[in-house]
């Protein structure tokens, strides 16, 4: 696709309508990931592969969020290069993607840093197989423009909207822990667990005092609703993203091979986006149906280059998991490393290191 065929700027929709439109296509048949205990799920899965040429008749089921994996692959031209078909399902956030993979409804999805922790806590039938970096500046805690709150410590006694188990949940917990506040019912700060569309309504109507959210919602609300940005996750949250694959997919040599090829395509697409920021922002905005300015802001700070799924990444995630456990947000401790499978690291190595900053 060339720039000559890019769509022109879309009409500027209002914030509430934009978020509703973003979520209208979401696959709502899968519940949010809970903490239901399942049988131990940390036995190693054999890494058996097949010839890529044999994948022509395969359909890989991929969980997505609006404007995410599919939009990136399509804009970069990587989608048409894959030697198999992809059936995309759209979700509102990462936790229901984990649940869908556990149920065998999808094979792969990209999430933020927190959903895999909640998945590990519930012994989800998934493995973390790829990692992505970002500086986390698109994750923010927003307050109304006329709010008197001036610091995170002043959230004490307040209500904060956040999607449970999302990267924003992790960010909120870390910010509060940093200033000695606790999160939870009957604690210093009360979380109001809402998905983005409902959270916007609660935020704009004054039913909550703040909102922990991620891009592109952060960018949309910043342009449309004139909030104040109390703080961003940059320098506080690791910002990592992760590719998760269902155990069933990894145990199937054909699907395992397809997930590897998809991971390579995503890594190449991220490099393309970094090298072509204006083209990507325009195509992203058209795909999501948002103000091109919001798209440019979101993608200017929320690119996710592939990085090695290594000991440093696992250690950083373990610290976040421990923070959740210590706060009582999770039942019991989580050994994050037991759900990590670095089988694709070797194939992805040539694509690591480009534009990789400490991540989302």
Cβ atoms within 10 Å of 331's Cβ, excluding its own:
11
Cα dihedral 322/323/326/329 (nearest 10): -110
Quick: pLDDT tens for 230-246: 999 999 999 999 999 99
Res 92: pLDDT: 87
Whole-number pLDDT of residue 280? 94
The pLDDT assigned to 307 comes to 97
224: confidence class by pLDDT, cuts 50, 70, 90: very high
Q: In the predicted model, is pLDDT for residue 182 greater than 90?
A: yes
pLDDT of residue 44: 82
Q: What is the pLDDT of residue 353?
A: 67
With pLDDT > 90 as the criterion, what percentage of the chain qualifies? 78
What are the tens digits of pLDDT across the range 257-293? 999 999 999 999 999 999 999 999 999 999 888 999 9
Range with lowest mean pLDDT among 35-39, 66-70, 111-115: 35-39
> Domains of the chain, with CATH numbers?
3-13+25-134+239-351 (3.40.190.10), 140-232 (3.40.190.10)
- Can you give the pLDDT at residue 8? 33
> Per this entry, what is the length of the chain?
360
Element holding 108 (H helix, E strand)? strand 108-111
Arithmetic mean of pLDDT over the chain: 87
The pair of three-digit structure tokens given for residue 274, joined into one six-digit string: 């970094």
> Would you state the pLDDT for residue 161?
98
pLDDT tens digit string along 127-162?
Answer: 999 999 998 999 999 999 999 999 999 999 999 999
Q: Are 128 and 243 in contact (CB under 8 A)?
A: yes
Q: What pLDDT, in 10s, does the model give residues 286-343?
A: 988 899 999 999 998 888 899 999 999 999 999 999 999 999 888 878 999 999 999 9
pLDDT value at position 43?
Answer: 66
Which tops the pLDDT comparison, 45 or 353? 45
Q: Quick check: helix, strand or coil at residue 149? A: coil
User: 39 pLDDT exceeds 60?
Assistant: no
pLDDT for 332 equals 79
Query: Mapping DSSP to helix (H, G, I), strand (E, B) and coil, where does residue 49 land?
Result: coil
Q: What is the mean pLDDT of residues 170-175?
A: 97
pLDDT reading at 15 higher than 60:
no
Cα-to-chain-centroid distance, residue 86: 19
The Cα–Cα gap between 137 and 291 comes to: 19
pLDDT tens column, 77-111: 999 999 999 999 999 889 999 999 999 999 999 99
Q: Is the pLDDT of residue 7 over 90?
A: no
Per-residue pLDDT, 42: 58
Strands 210-213, 159-162: parallel, antiparallel or unpaired by DSSP?
Answer: parallel
CA distance 269 to 263: 10
pLDDT of residue 40: 54
Give the β-pairing of 85-90 and 59-64. Answer: parallel
Strands (DSSP E) found in 214-308: 228-232, 241-246, 306-307
Using DSSP bridges, classify how beta strands 140-143 and 190-193 pair: parallel, antiparallel or unpaired: unpaired
Interhelix angle for 253-275 vs 69-76, to 10°?
Answer: 70
Nearest Cα residue to 129 out of 58, 45, 57, 50: 45
């Amino acid at each position: 696709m060339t720039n000559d065929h890019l769509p022109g700027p879309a009409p500027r929709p209002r914030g509430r309508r934009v978020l509703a439109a973003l979520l209208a296509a979401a696959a709502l048949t899968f519940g949010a990931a809970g903490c239901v205990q399942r049988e131990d799920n940390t036995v190693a899965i054999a890494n058996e592969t097949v010839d890529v040429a044999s994948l022509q008749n395969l359909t890989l089921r991929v969980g997505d969020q609006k404007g995410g994996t599919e939009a990136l692959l399509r804009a970069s031209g990587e989608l048409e290069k894959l030697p198999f078909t992809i059936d995309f399902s759209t979700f509102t956030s990462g936790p229901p993607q984990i649940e869908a993979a556990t149920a065998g409804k999808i094979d792969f999805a990209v999430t933020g840093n927190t959903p895999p922790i909640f998945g590990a806590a519930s012994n989800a039938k998934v493995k973390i197989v790829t990692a992505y970096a970002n500086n986390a500046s698109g994750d923010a805690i927003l307050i109304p423009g006329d709010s008197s709150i001036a610091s995170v410590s002043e959230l004490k006694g307040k209500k904060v909207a956040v999607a449970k188990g999302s990267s924003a949940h992790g960010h909120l917990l870390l910010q509060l822990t940093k200033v000695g506040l606790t999160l939870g019912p009957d604690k210093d700060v009360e979380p109001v667990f809402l998905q983005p569309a409902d959270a916007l309504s609660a935020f704009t109507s004054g039913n909550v005092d703040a909102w922990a959210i991620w891009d592109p919602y952060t960018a949309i609300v910043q342009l449309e609703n004139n909030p104040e940005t109390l703080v961003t996750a940059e320098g506080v949250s690791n910002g990592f993203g992760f590719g998760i694959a269902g155990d069933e997919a990894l145990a199937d040599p054909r699907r395992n091979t397809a997930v590897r090829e998809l991971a390579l395509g995503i890594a190449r697409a991220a490099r393309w986006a970094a090298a072509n920021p204006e083209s990507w922002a325009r195509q992203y905005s058209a795909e999501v149906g948002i103000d091109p300015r919001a798209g440019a802001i979101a993608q200017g700070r929320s690119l996710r280059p592939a990085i090695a799924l290594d000991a440093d990444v696992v250690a950083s995630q373990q610290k976040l998991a421990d923070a959740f456990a210590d706060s009582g947000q999770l039942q019991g401790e989580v050994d994050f490393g037991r759900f990590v499978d670095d089988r694709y690291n070797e194939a992805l190595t040539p694509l690591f290191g480009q534009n990789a900053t400490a991540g989302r």
